[in-house]
Structure 1
Amino acid sequence: MIALVSRFMTDRKKELFYYGSIVSVGVVLGGIVSSQAHAVATVNLGKDQFFTLGVGVRAQYLSHDSTVAGNKGAASADDFRIYMGAQFHKYVKATLNLERLRDGNWNVLDGILQVERWKAFNIWGGRMLTPSDRSNLDGPYFLSTYAFPLVAQYPGAWSGRDDGMAVWGRLLKDRFRYVTGIYRGHNWVPGGSNYGEHPLFAGRVEYNFLDPEPSPAYYTASTYYGKADILAIGLAGQYEADGVGSAEVKGSYKAWNVDGLFEKKIGKNAKYGVYTLEGAYYQYYTDGVKDISAGYKQRSPAYGNVGGINAGTAFLASTAYLIPYKLGWGRVQPLVRYQEFRFKEGMYGPGHPKTTQFDAGANYVMDAHNLRFTFDYVRYKSANTPAQGAFLLGMQFQY
């Protein structure tokens, strides 16, 4: 297998076992505080003026990390975030969220100026989540599972974000949501394919056939724990001329996906529990060009919107069931998930090399997405390598 495939598979194993990848995301608090989360403090500054402060933490114990020689088990605090928001005027808000990195430095997760005059048409500018798939707009905090999916590889300057402008809105009694934007784009670096040239165009539409999703703005979640009956179908796409490759060999980046979420309360007031089913299908195109290595000319692969895009087809499917009876302070939600990334034929070796991942475990849900523990068994396999497994115990807290 050629070096690019090896690099991709190593990167994806790191995503599986560290979850701090460039596509991990968190739904922001602040001026758009979700009804699913709270704020540590809210300071009223006058009519239609306030400031909010919140925090988010994720930590885990992993029985074995195959990416580190001799590592038989490790505990880590993978994610610490500070959420801040402000409203200056009835229609003008701002969000500033920070994330602490493993090297001890802090990075701007979100920095958005928000003009929200109408429900159907809002304007945002700054660093924000780009229109993409449900998983990217979920979390990691608002996924149904703990680990971010390996098949979601939309590019981002940091944690699925990019710098640019977007318009978004809700119509048809909030059942139809859209977002479209223009962003700085991928491989904007000396030696990259797109240094100072073409922007990234991105868009997403979604329709809810049952209840409207209760998440804020154009963000999503993969489970609402019975808060609503959901049947949502989303379609997203991105395009950037010269978005992949190097300065010498360039190709246009194109990607699209369709995703769906079905969640149903069983019985009146979820008397018999809540059933969840999620699926997504992806197509990634690079004009037959191999992208440069992730993090090319950056401090680390986690920094910068550089490299790492692979041509291929991918999908995921997951299901979960929230047991209606309390066990101690919370409820148990068993779940399983399967993912597969199949590389484009001929670009990365003979045939269709592929990477797969299977998760089986359960969440212990104490306060929806705000306080949750996860026990997960993960089975991971890349092309021409033996399958590897690990047990994970994860915790997330946000307020």
Structure 2
Amino acid sequence: MAVILGVAPFDRPARAQAQPEAPPARTGDGPPIAAPATEPASPPADASAARGPAAEANAGAPTLQGAAGPGPAATALPPPAEEEPWKKPLSVAAWARVGGRLQNPDAREKMDRLLADGELHLLFSGEINRFIGVQGAVVAQFGPTPTGGNIAGSATLRDAIAKIKFHDLLNVWIGRMIVPSDRSAFSGPWSMVPWNYPGFFEPYAPPLGPRQGPFGRNDGVTAWGKVAGGLFKYYVGAYNLHDSSASPLYTARLNLSLLDPEPAYYQKSTYLGEKSILALGVAGEVQRQGSVESLPPPAMDMPPGVPRKDTYMEANADLLFEKNLGTAGTLTLEGAFYKYIGDFERFDYSYFALASYLTPTNVGVGKLQPLVRLQQAKPKNADPYLLIDAQMGYVIEGHAARAALGYQRSDLSGAKGNALFLGVQLQK
């Protein structure tokens, strides 16, 4: 089962990875808590206008002309002062997910064991001045391990970002952050309709998709900018800079929104009807000697072999359509395709496609959101992998309070599996 708690604004995925972007605070300006490993930077606090002492003292008072009749014009009161973002205190949020999965890890067609997992994210963000900001996230989690044990509450630093804004056309982020590779990474599991992050075909393995790092994060630098308030955005970056034994990972992404703009660094995979979205994204990655041969364990009387290497490349495209149809509800359609290039890459390509519907009115305290998603991956030397999710979501307070109940059918080159899952997410 899964639960989320959050405070303050924050705008996928990562892979585990996210994240949230995470995603992201509900204002859309913060990160998702990323991708599994993956959704997540945090959004700024609400900026409400602050009235000065003079304005407060005179609120509701009659003008001099109205009180005394004809005469010199009364002195106009100054407009309310807008509080500058960097004069506000540090924004703090707490997000939590708790979930359970009914499936036997040793006999995956049987649903006779309950495996629970969860995570808690503490997110921090603030502006130092009009050009410089800071963002961070610390995450603690628990859950099952491949050996049958349990992660007993490990905590890690997931985001540590110094943000510099030169102009809307040029922002530079430095540190540990979500790799801008696809929409799912920006959104993280926090701001998408499916409970399960895409690409998790094999148990206890990172999700299949663009190369990123644990929970969709990596250490590096990103330059990004936007045009027309976010109708068009670009991202370029270099990552894996903490590892002197490996080449940097270079990425680039372009995003075009044909209806409503998406101004934030992070992008959601659903806006729950608050925006009309028709957005196309394309991205690519390259890493010299990043495709590495997998060698069998060495024999006891033989030294370990030296793996061969080749240049790794990946290209992907994603499309999101979401429309609020008024009294007919909200329709969401999403798809993504990934191509992997390198002599020693296990997979040739992968993709997913989904359709979901959000009811226009509440059923009880929330809206129903049924979903169907198909995922497929093609290994180079085996039959395709297939995952099908059928899920019923319950949206109580947007992304800040929701639950999901669903069934997943898997077929990994003939190895079949069944699973029931339940999750709860909260953000404050």
TM-score, shorter chain, exceeding 0.5 = yes
Partner of 2:5: none
Q: Look up the equivalent residue of 1:248 and give its one-letter code.
A: P
Runs of 5+ consecutive residues of structure 2 not aligned to the other structure: 1-12, 33-41, 48-82, 143-150, 200-206, 294-305
Q: 2:28 aligns with which of 24, 29, 34?
A: 34
SS at 1:137's partner residue? Answer: helix
Q: 2:422 aligns with which of 381, 393, 396?
A: 393
Partner of 1:241: 288
Mapped partners of 2:336, 2:406: distance in 1: 21
Q: CA deviation at 1:98?
A: 0.9
Partner of 2:361: 325
Mapped partners of 1:382, 1:60: distance in 2: 23
Partner of 1:132: 181
Partner of 1:100: 140
**Worse overlay, 143-152 or 24-33:** 24-33
Q: Look up the equivalent residue of 2:254 and give its one-letter code.
A: V
Partner of 1:362: 392
Q: State yes or no: 1:117 paired with 2:169.
A: no
Q: State yes or no: 1:25 paired with 2:15.
A: no
Partner of 1:299: none
**Worse overlay, 224-233 or 242-251:** 242-251
**Worse overlay, 60-69 or 99-108:** 60-69
Change (3 A) 1:137 1:124: same
Partner of 2:273: 226
Q: State yes or no: 1:54 paired with 2:93.
A: yes
Q: CA deviation at 1:105?
A: 2.4
Identity level (%): 27
Partner of 2:351: 315
Q: 5 Å matches for 1:157-306?
A: 157-184=213-240, 188=243, 196-213=245-262, 216-217=264-265, 219-245=266-292, 248-266=307-325, 270-286=326-342, 288-289=343-344
Larger CA Rg, structure 1 vs 2: 2
SS at 1:141's partner residue? Answer: helix
Runs of 5+ consecutive residues of structure 1 not aligned to the other structure: 1-18, 189-194, 291-309
SS at 2:120's partner residue? Answer: strand
SS at 1:116's partner residue? Answer: strand
CA contact (8 A) 1:60 1:393 kept: yes
Partner of 1:145: 194
Mapped partners of 1:207, 1:341: distance in 2: 26
Mapped partners of 2:324, 2:27: distance in 1: 25
Q: CA deviation at 1:343?
A: 1.3
TM-score, with length taken from structure 1: 0.78
Change (3 A) 1:58 1:241: same
Q: CA deviation at 1:318?
A: 0.1
Q: Which runs of 4+ in 1 moved over 6 A?
A: 29-32, 35-46, 68-71
CA shift digits 1:129-160 (9 cap, x unpaired): 11211111111111110001116422233211
Mapped partners of 1:77, 1:20: distance in 2: 17
Change (3 A) 1:49 1:30: farther
CA contact (8 A) 1:40 1:55 kept: no
Change (3 A) 1:375 1:203: same
Mapped partners of 1:81, 1:67: distance in 2: 30
Q: State yes or no: 1:64 paired with 2:103.
A: yes
CA shift digits 1:261-312 (9 cap, x unpaired): 000111xxx22100010011110112x225xxxxxxxxxxxxxxxxxxx331
**Worse overlay, 38-47 or 98-107:** 38-47
Structure showing greater relative contact order (alpha-carbon pairs closer than 8 Å, 6 or more residues apart): 2
**Worse overlay, 61-70 or 134-143:** 61-70
Q: Look up the equivalent residue of 1:251 and give its one-letter code.
A: D
Q: Look up the equivalent residue of 1:396 and give its one-letter code.
A: Q
Change (3 A) 1:46 1:340: closer
Q: CA deviation at 1:354?
A: 1.6
TM-score, with length taken from structure 2: 0.73
Change (3 A) 1:65 1:89: farther
Change (3 A) 1:353 1:185: farther
SS at 2:99's partner residue? Answer: strand
